[in-house]
Amino acid sequence: MANYSTNEFKGGLKIMLDGEPCNILENEYVKPGKGQAFNRVRIRKLISGKVLEKTFRSGETVEGADVLDTELAYLYTDGEFYHFMNNETFEQIAADEKAVGDNVKWLKENDVCTITLWNGSPITVTPPNFVELEITETDPGLKGDTAGTGGKPATLSTGAVVRVPLFVQTGEVIKVDTRSGEYVSRAQK
């Protein structure tokens, strides 16, 4: 993998830091008129998801990380691995529980997810921003409530629990924003 100098640092560049692939979020050049030059860099560690700030001496070089985002459709889980497929090449890849993490609750068959590969292995699985899932269980709400005040918990087919308005019932399909975990609307038929 190539090395990158601080001059090449910009949002989206993937580098290795403490043995972990990282994504550069922001890079600010700091140079007093009479003093040493530094780069103040905001970084997201791609495995832990942790965001941190690190200061580099200007001109320093670091190793690049072989990280690639790929769009793959979710197929199924065998209980241990989650299997995804490239819809164009039909190539399949298996991600472990660690890579899927909490996002397991948004995985629906045939939905296209973003899989981040490091040295060819999946390290994170990001579901689409919006998914449509069926409600498997929720208390029957009061008819006529359309204001959505308060709402009630609903369990979805994947096991996710979201707050929904009182008028939404078991068996209905709803649209959820996976980034916030919030109900958006009833699904379009």
Partner 1 sequence: MTHTWQPTASLSNIRARADLLHSVRQFFAARNVLEVETPLLSNGTVTDIHLAAFSTRFEHASDGKTKTLYLQTSPEYAMKRLLCAQVGACYQIGKAFRHEAEGRWHNPEFTMLEWYRPGFNHHQLMDEMDELLQLVLATGSAERKSYQQVFLDQLQLDPLTATTASLQQVLTAHDIDVHGDMALDKDTLLQLLFSYLIEPAIGQQVPCFIYGFPASQAALAKLSQHDERVADRFEVYFKGVELANGFNELSDSDEQRRRFNNDVAQRKQLDLPEVEHDERFLQALESGLPQCAGVALGIDRLLMLKVNASHIEQVISFPLSRA
Q: Is the dihedral of CA 132, 138, 142, 143 positive or negative?
A: positive
Residue 13 binds partner 1 (CB under 8 A)? no
Residue 38 binds partner 1 (CB under 8 A)? yes
Residue 37 binds partner 1 (CB under 8 A)? yes
* 118-177 positions binding partner 1, by CB under 8 A: none
Nearest approach, Cβ of residue 66 and partner 1 (Å)? 20
Q: Is the dihedral of CA 79, 80, 84, 85 positive or negative?
A: negative
* 55-74 positions binding partner 1, by CB under 8 A: 55-58, 60, 62
Residue 52 binds partner 1 (CB under 8 A)? yes
Q: Which residues of 95-123 are buried (b: 16+ CB within 10 A; e: fewer)?
A: beeebbeebebbbbeebebebbbbeeebb
Residue 64 dihedral angles phi and psi, to the nearest 5° = -75, 160
Nearest approach, Cβ of residue 124 and partner 1 (Å)? 24
Residue 10 vs 179, nearer CB to partner 1: 10
Interface contacts to partner 1, rule CB under 8 A: 6-7, 17, 28-40, 52-58, 60, 62
